[in-house]
Amino acid sequence: MKRPMPGIATGLLVVGLSTTAIANGSPGPDWAETYFRQGGNDAPACGACHAMAAAETSGQVGPDLDVLQPDRAKLRAALRDGVGVMPSFAQALSEAQIKAMADYVAEAVE
Ligand code: HEC
């Protein structure tokens, strides 16, 4: 968690919403932003390692995505195969979720 939670109730609500969004199989920008901040399905949050202003994260293990400005193809390749220290998200995310995450980040940093 990179930001202090306003309260436990809010934290539970956000976790509940993200679980629903993952379970119902229709990932969009809201799902992607939540996953970027919180991770899930046994994978760490993007924001634990990457800074990105749109998601208000400040991780420093990987490159600052606002500076790197990856396009969709680079994002999808990194998510499917991993890059260096960054793990593959092929087990944690479905194809639709990988696409949604690539679309979300590409738009957030352009
Ligand atoms: C455990 C830390 C970690 C997590 C979690 C992580 N990354 Fe990374 N990421 C890295 C590191 C480190 C690199 C640089 C790898 C290198 O260049 O060797 C990187 C590189 C990237 C790149 C650049 C790829 C390239 O070809 O240069 C993108 C895009 C990216 N990450 C997006 C994401 C997204 C989106 C998520 C969440 C789904 C995520 N990362 C989760 C550590 C992480």
Q: Is the pLDDT of residue 14 over 80?
A: no
- pLDDT for the residue 97: 96
CA of 57 to the centre of ligand 1 (A): 13
Helical (H) or strand (E) element with 20: helix 8-23
Sequence spans of domains, the chain:
8-109
The helix (H) or strand (E) run that includes residue 102 is: helix 95-109
pLDDT tens for residues 20-63? 445 555 799 999 999 999 999 999 999 999 999 999 999 999 99
pLDDT tens per residue, range 31-42: 999 999 999 999
Task: Decide: 79 in ligand 1 pocket, CB within 6 A.
Answer: yes
φ and ψ of 51, to 5 deg: -80, 135
* Token pair of 56 as six digits: 């208000």
Q: How far is ligand 1, taken at its centre, from the CA of residue 9, in Å?
A: 31
Pick the CATH number of 8-109 from 1.10.3720.10, 1.10.238.10, 1.10.760.10, 1.20.120.1080: 1.10.760.10
